């Protein structure tokens, strides 16, 4: 369902991604690992049509990312749940108002807003916090809200960049449980991390990047002993 063929992205003479090829089927759980600067964010942003590629083919479903026109980019992004490294919320708006802004952008009919919002916020156990402002929440709570927001359009694929960075162990575990639960319900999860303890203990297919190259695609997972 997701296919990359020789995907390459260069900045000056830095290979952010170099000849990356892989196929990810619907329902898979995939870690993307590697040291800082290895190319993880670039790869995730290519997959979500947030970055152009220099050469190669990137396909999600029947949509070829390289040839996207603007309106197709929006169509594609609506099929994806994106949890970025930084959770951008509108700071003066409550969680409820932030969610409403998103649902409006997604063109979800107004009469469905309440139900949809309750559904996604309940799934991350954050329904009690809807009247708060973003900065009144802990980092872990904000991450849960960011995940709930990514679920608003019921996407078949979720792309998450370092969702447990800067979290204490307990919050990180809670966040990961949310992703595992979503995956069990059939959602494809592509998750970048350099938390080797997590990758080693909760095993899933692992793609390892180094200097922009895919140096390992391991169905049994585990963090490389060498990085």
Q: Which residues of the chain form contacts with ligand ADP (CB under 6 A)?
A: 11-12, 14, 16, 34, 36-42, 51-52
CB of 114 vs ligand ADP, minimal distance in Å: 36
Q: Which is nearer to ligand ADP, 51 or 132 (CB)?
A: 51
CB of 161 vs ligand ADP, minimal distance in Å: 7
Phi and psi at 65, nearest 5°, equal -65, -35
The residues with which 190 forms a beta bridge, in sequence order, are 30, 159
Structure-token pair, residue 133: 């402002």
CB of 46 vs ligand ADP, minimal distance in Å: 8
CB of 154 vs ligand ADP, minimal distance in Å: 27
Task: Decide if 156 contacts 185 (C-beta within 8 A).
Answer: no
Gap between the Cα atoms of 102 and 211, Å rounded: 35
Q: Tokens 């329902």 belong to which residue? A: 27
Phi and psi at 203, nearest 5°, equal -80, 135
CB of 86 vs ligand ADP, minimal distance in Å: 13
CB of 144 vs ligand ADP, minimal distance in Å: 22
Gap between the Cα atoms of 35 and 16, Å rounded: 13
How many CB atoms sit inside 10 A of residue 103's CB? 21
Q: Which is nearer to ligand ADP, 120 or 167 (CB)?
A: 167
**Between vectors from CA 106 to CA 104 and to CA 108, what angle results, nearest 5°?**
70
Q: Which is nearer to ligand ADP, 49 or 137 (CB)?
A: 49
- CA distances 158 to 128, 137, 227, Å, are 24, 23, 26
Q: Is 128 exposed, middle or buried (0-12, 13-18, 19+ CB in 10 A)?
A: exposed
Q: Which is nearer to ligand ADP, 70 or 135 (CB)?
A: 70
Q: Which is nearer to ligand ADP, 36 or 70 (CB)?
A: 36
Q: Which is nearer to ligand ADP, 43 or 151 (CB)?
A: 43
């Amino acid at each position: 369902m997701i296919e990359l063929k020789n995907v390459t992205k260069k900045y000056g003479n830095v290979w952010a991604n170099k000849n990356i090829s892989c196929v990810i089927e619907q329902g898979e759980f995939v870690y993307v690992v590697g040291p800082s600067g290895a190319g993880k964010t670039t790869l995730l942003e290519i997959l979500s049509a947030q970055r152009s590629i220099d050469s190669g083919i990137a396909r999600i479903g029947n949509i070829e990312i390289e040839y996207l026109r603007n309106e197709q980019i929006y169509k594609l992004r609506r099929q994806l749940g994106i949890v970025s490294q930084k959770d951008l919320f509108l700071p003066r708006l409550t969680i409820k108002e932030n969610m409403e802004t998103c649902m409006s952008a997604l063109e979800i009919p107004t009469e469905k807003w309440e139900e949809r919002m309750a559904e996604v916020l309940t799934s991350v156990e954050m329904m009690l916090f809807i009247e708060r402002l973003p900065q009144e929440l802990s980092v872990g709570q904000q991450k849960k809200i960011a995940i709930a927001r990514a679920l608003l359009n019921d996407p078949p694929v979720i792309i998450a960049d370092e969702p447990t960075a800067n979290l204490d162990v307990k919050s990180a575990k809670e966040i990961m449980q949310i992703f595992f639960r979503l995956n069990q319900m059939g959602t494809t999860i592509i998750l970048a991390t350099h938390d080797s303890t997590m990758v080693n203990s909760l095993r899933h297919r692992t793609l390892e990047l180094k200097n922009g190259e895919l140096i390992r695609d391991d169905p049994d997972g585990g963090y490389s002993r060498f990085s």
